[in-house]
Amino acid sequence: MFETLSTRLNSVFTKLKSKGKLSESDVDSAMRSIRLALIEADVNAAVARNFVNRLKENLIGKEITKSLNPFQEVIKSVNEELIKVLGGEGFHFTYSSKGPTVILLAGLQGSGKTTAAAKLANHFKHEGHSPLLVALDLKRPAAVQQLKILGSSIDVPVFTQNTDPPSVASMSIQEAKRLGKDVVILDTAGRLGIDEEMMQEISSIYAKTQPDYTWFVVDAMIGQDALAVANAFKERLPLNGIILTKLDGDARGGAALSVVEVVGAPIVFSSTGEKIDDLGPFYPDRMASRILGMGDVLTLIEKAQRTYDKELAEKTAQKLAEGQLTLEDFLIQMREVKKLGPFSNLLSMMPSGLVPPEAAEMIDDKAVSRLEAIISSMTPQERLNPKIIDASRKKRIARGAGVTPAEVTQFISQFSQAQKTLEQMGILGKVVKSSIKRAKKKSKKKSGGRVTPKNKPR
């Protein structure tokens, strides 16, 4: 998401950087380019105009043309404005002290609302809470069944009754109290378009439950239509948050910036994939950083901490340090990394320039699947010792992996070269450790077995 905007903005910044000092006409030209970049990224024209006007006022206040480093001032101001537009300091969720915390989800059919409800339940469960899902789309039996299947997959109960949705919603809160559930997620009915019946129903559900949070679920790929839908719900419900789904499906993503400004509420959660754990809190500062090509390493680390097997990671780190990584270890690590999600998502979290373009092109899900297939087609002995793989073995591996023998040869050659490098690093590490050990022993002898502040090894 936001790939189009990121590319366009970085193009503007590159032009500014080459100028050094900026004149007023340079600033005006940059503002026009930024507005055009926003519009091309599917940001509403009025929202784009307001964004640029606020940005220009901010830059004039800083006397950008007299600044020692105007290029950095422009980037800093754009970053600050993006953070404001995406929700400012972000959303701080607090649980109700009187009873279960009730969350009402509103949105059109197809926005990913039911899936988002289950993903939210999964998130709260991992946070140590006990959620209850409530199916209120009673006119579509498939919707109720979908929520039950999703709830079952994460071991979260789903409440529903064969009566009118507002009554079911009211009963669900009593059921939550009876079961000791502290979070209730109301999955309301969606339609292909806005209609009065749906709006009356959801208004009634709100009146009967008085939810702590009312969140608008919107598909990031909906484009400009999102504004009309957001306005319609805003007129009937006091929306205080937005859940943005399918962030991985649109390179433009300007609808997100537009919806936040129209609704006047922050994005609270965002979904970046189809898996049940592909939803997390939305951080405006981190997303602004990604848009400006500065990456989002914090989210990447948090994702790895949730997904990675700690013991396995420590064992691999030890093998790397000793230069003893085998193809079996490599296969296990590839499968661990795949749990983090599509490689395109992971690369988007890395600062621009850190991963060379040619390397980024090579690191895709298809390439990783091919490597996985090659290693999986090897015997345990071949994975431990690739040197035994002769021409006939390569043909067998290639057939099993659905690749050519040349691709098998190339992969083995690349891995062997990497292994040599790791071995050299491992030997170097041992030499360094040995040198430090000897230095410490020598220092202790001089000080009579004690390390005094004066002769403490550095």
Whose CA is closest to 345, among 383, 385, 307? Answer: 307
Tokens describing residue 65: 């043309």
Q: In the beta sheet, which residues pair with residue 213?
A: 103
pLDDT band, very low/low/confident/very high, at 165 (cuts 50, 70, 90): very high
Mind listing the pLDDT tens digit for each residue in 22-40? 677 777 888 888 888 888 8
Mind listing the pLDDT tens digit for each residue in 259-273? 888 888 888 998 877
Residue at token pair 């439950």 = 209
More confident residue, 173 or 77: 173
Beta-sheet pairing, 267-271 with 279-281? antiparallel
Mind listing the pLDDT tens digit for each residue in 398-408? 999 999 999 99
Q: What are phi and psi of 455, to 5 degrees?
A: -110, 20
Mind listing the pLDDT tens digit for each residue in 331-346? 776 676 666 666 556 6
Residue at token pair 């998130």 = 123
3-state helix, strand, coil in the chain (%, to 5): 60, 10, 30
Per-residue confidence (pLDDT) for residue 342, from 0 to 100: 63
Tokens describing residue 106: 């509103």
> Is the model's pTM score more than 0.85?
no
pLDDT band, very low/low/confident/very high, at 181 (cuts 50, 70, 90): very high
Euclidean distance between CA atoms 343 and 355, whole angstroms: 12
pLDDT band, very low/low/confident/very high, at 432 (cuts 50, 70, 90): very low
Are the C-beta atoms of 161 and 173 separated by less than 8 Å? no
Quickly list DSSP for 395-441: HHHHHHHTS-HHHHHHHHHHHHHHHHHHHHHHHHHHHHHHHHHHHHH
Tokens describing residue 329: 């270890």
Are the C-beta atoms of 135 and 187 separated by less than 8 Å? yes
Euclidean distance between CA atoms 221 and 453, whole angstroms: 63
Give the three-class secondary structure for 179: helix
Tokens describing residue 372: 């996985």
Mind listing the pLDDT tens digit for each residue in 122-150? 999 998 999 999 999 888 778 899 999 99
Per-residue confidence (pLDDT) for residue 360, from 0 to 100: 47
Cα 47 from chain centre: 25
Euclidean distance between CA atoms 227 and 260, whole angstroms: 9
Tokens describing residue 457: 């090894």
Cα 409 from chain centre: 36
Are the C-beta atoms of 250 and 222 separated by less than 8 Å? no
Task: Say whether pLDDT at 361 is over 90.
Answer: no
CA pseudo-torsion sign 314, 319, 321, 326 = negative
Amino acid at 315: K
More confident residue, 375 or 3: 375
Task: Say whether pLDDT at 453 is over 50.
Answer: no
Per-residue confidence (pLDDT) for residue 383, from 0 to 100: 87
Give the three-class secondary structure for 196: helix
Q: What is the rounded average pLDDT of the residues 267-288?
A: 83
Euclidean distance between CA atoms 384 and 380, whole angstroms: 6
Task: Say whether pLDDT at 289 is over 80.
Answer: no
Tokens describing residue 352: 């621009």
More confident residue, 212 or 438: 212
Per-residue confidence (pLDDT) for residue 70, from 0 to 100: 67
Domains of the chain (ranges; CATH) run 3-85 (1.20.120.140), 101-294 (3.40.50.300), 304-421 (1.10.260.30)
pLDDT band, very low/low/confident/very high, at 114 (cuts 50, 70, 90): very high
Task: Say whether pLDDT at 434 is over 80.
Answer: no
Q: Where are the alpha helices (DSSP H) in 159-309?
A: 165-179, 196-209, 225-236, 254-263, 284-291, 297-307
Strand order in the sheet with 267-271: 158-159, 131-135, 183-187, 101-106, 213-219, 241-245, 267-271, 279-281
Give the three-class secondary structure for 159: strand
Mind listing the pLDDT tens digit for each residue in 70-102? 667 777 888 888 888 887 776 788 898 888 999
Q: In the beta sheet, which residues pair with residue 421?
A: none
Tokens describing residue 43: 């940001």
pLDDT band, very low/low/confident/very high, at 302 (cuts 50, 70, 90): low
Task: Say whether pLDDT at 55 is over 60.
Answer: yes
Euclidean distance between CA atoms 308 and 53, whole angstroms: 45
